[in-house]
Amino acid sequence: MTDLILLLPELVLVGAALALIVVARHVQSAQSAAMWVVVAAVAAVCSGWAFPSGGPSAGFGGTIAGDGYAQFFNVLFAAIAALAALLSVRHLNSEHVRPAEFFALVLLATTGMMLAASAMDLLIVYLGLELMTLCSYVLVGITRNKAISNEAAIKYFLLASFASALLLYGISLSYGVTGATDYVAIASAVSEGSLGQHPLLLVGVALVAVGLAFKIAAVPFHSWAPDAYQGASAPVAAFLAAGSKAAGLAALGRVCLVAFAPELRIWSVILIGLSALSMAAGSLLALSQTNMKRLLAYSSIAHAGYALLGLIPGTPSGASATMTYAFVYAFMTLGAFGVVIGLGERGEDLAGYKGLASTAPGTAALMFLFLLSLTGIPPTAGFAAKFAVILSVVRGGHVGLAVLAVACSVVSAFFYLRVAVFMYMTEPQGLTPGRLPVGVSAALAVAAFVTIIGGMFPETFTAWTVPP
pLDDT of residue 47: 81
Domain extents in the chain: 2-462
CA distance 202 to 52: 40
- Measured CA to CA, the distance from residue 92 to residue 102 in angstroms comes to 8
Give the angle 404-397-220 at the CA atoms, nearest 5°.
45
Query: Quick one: which of 362, 307, 360 has its CA closest to 333?
Result: 307
- Determine whether 461 is exposed, middle or buried from the number of CB atoms within 10 Å of its CB (0-12, 13-18, 19+): buried
User: Burial level of 133, CB count in 10 A (0-12/13-18/19+)?
Assistant: buried
Residue 99 makes CB contacts below 8 A (sequence gap 6+) with 27, 28, 29, 30, 32, 33, 34, 92
What pLDDT is stored for residue 62 in this prediction?
A: 81
CA distances (Å), origin 312, targets 72, 154, 363, 375, 464 = 21, 34, 38, 22, 21
Those residues of the chain that have pLDDT short of 70 are: 1, 48, 50-56, 193-197, 430-432, 434
pLDDT at 1: 59
Q: d(Cα 385, Cα 381) in Å, to the nearest integer?
A: 6
State residue 393's pLDDT score.
94
What is the amino acid identity at position 163? A
pLDDT at position 216 is 94
> What separation in angstroms does the CA of 189 have from each of 176, 179, 198, 397?
12, 8, 11, 28
Query: 290, 349 in Cβ contact below 8 A?
Result: yes
Alpha helices in 287-360 (DSSP H): 292-308, 316-343, 356-359
Inter-residue contact 52 to 5 (CB < 8 Å)? yes
For the chain, what's the residue count? 468
**Residue 54: predicted pLDDT:** 45
pLDDT of residue 201: 84
Q: What share of the chain is helix, strand, coil (3-state, %, to 5)?
A: 80, 0, 20
123: helix, coil or strand? helix
**For residue 303, what pLDDT is reported?**
95
Which residues neighbour 120 within 8 Å (Cβ) at sequence distance 6 or greater? 58, 62, 63, 64, 65, 182, 183, 184, 254, 258
- What is the pLDDT, as a whole number, of residue 80? 96
Question: Which of 370, 377, 251, 224 has its CA nearest to residue 319?
Answer: 251
Q: Per DSSP, what are the bridge partners of residue 59?
A: 64
Of 108, 106, 110, 215, nearest to 160 (Cα)? Answer: 215
Q: What is the DSSP string of 56-94?
A: -SEETTTTEE-SHHHHHHHHHHHHHHHHHHHHHHHHHHH
Q: What pLDDT is attached to residue 262? A: 83
**Amino acid 195: pLDDT:** 61
